[in-house]
Amino acid sequence: MTLAVYPGSFDPFTLGHSDILSRSLKIFDEVVIAVGVNQNKKTLFTADERVAMIEKEVSEIKLGKNNKVTVECFEGLIVDLASKHNAKSLIKGVRGPVDYDYEAQMAGMNTVMCPDLETIFLMSKPEFSFIHSSLVKQISLMGGDVTGFVSEKIKTILKTKS
């Protein structure tokens, strides 16, 4: 069984995140969605809320008979979580050059800390390349319509925070 870890803050989980997950499941049998907890980062949703939100989204994804998705929180280094799961790959969605520059630096650091861990970059599809969780939050908090950026379920959850 091939397993990969898909880390992020997922605050909230967007259609872009969902697309990267679905495409990852074509490559890997199992994906662990690792919801990052960073005490220095202000999030709209608690870690537990983000996990619950993603679990609801995952329940809607058509999984192959050999596919499995789990969601869990992590605090600390992603290489430690990957090691805990014996993962050999990290999945990173990349929307464009700015994301790539940052993620390439992170991949380099992770490779030094854990040489057997490979980072797999998946380019966003054009229709998702502009979606950014922080912008989705801002639009929602200002009363805007986030249709086309998040699922209807998450849209409803976002309204409870406005």
26 included as an active-site residue: no
Contacts of 139 (CB under 8 A, 6+ apart): 145, 146, 149
C-beta separation of 106 from 70 below 8 A: no
Q: Which stretches within 25-151 are classed as H helix?
A: 47-58, 78-84, 97-113, 133-141
Active site residue 50: no
Helices (H), the chain: 15-24, 47-58, 78-84, 97-113, 133-141, 152-161
Catalytic one of 18, 89, 124, 133: 133
Q: Which of 26, 41, 62, 65 is flagged as catalytic?
A: 41
Is 73 exposed, middle or buried (CB count within 10 Å of its CB: 0-12, 13-18, 19+)? Answer: middle
Name the residue type at position 148: G
Looking only at the bridges linking them, the beta strands covering 118-123 and 30-36 are unpaired
Which of the following is catalytic: 56, 85, 88, 95?
95
- 95 part of the active site: yes
- The answer to whether 22 touches 60, Cβ cutoff 8 Å, is no
In the set 17, 50, 92, 137, the catalytic residue is 17
Catalytic residues: 17, 41, 95, 133
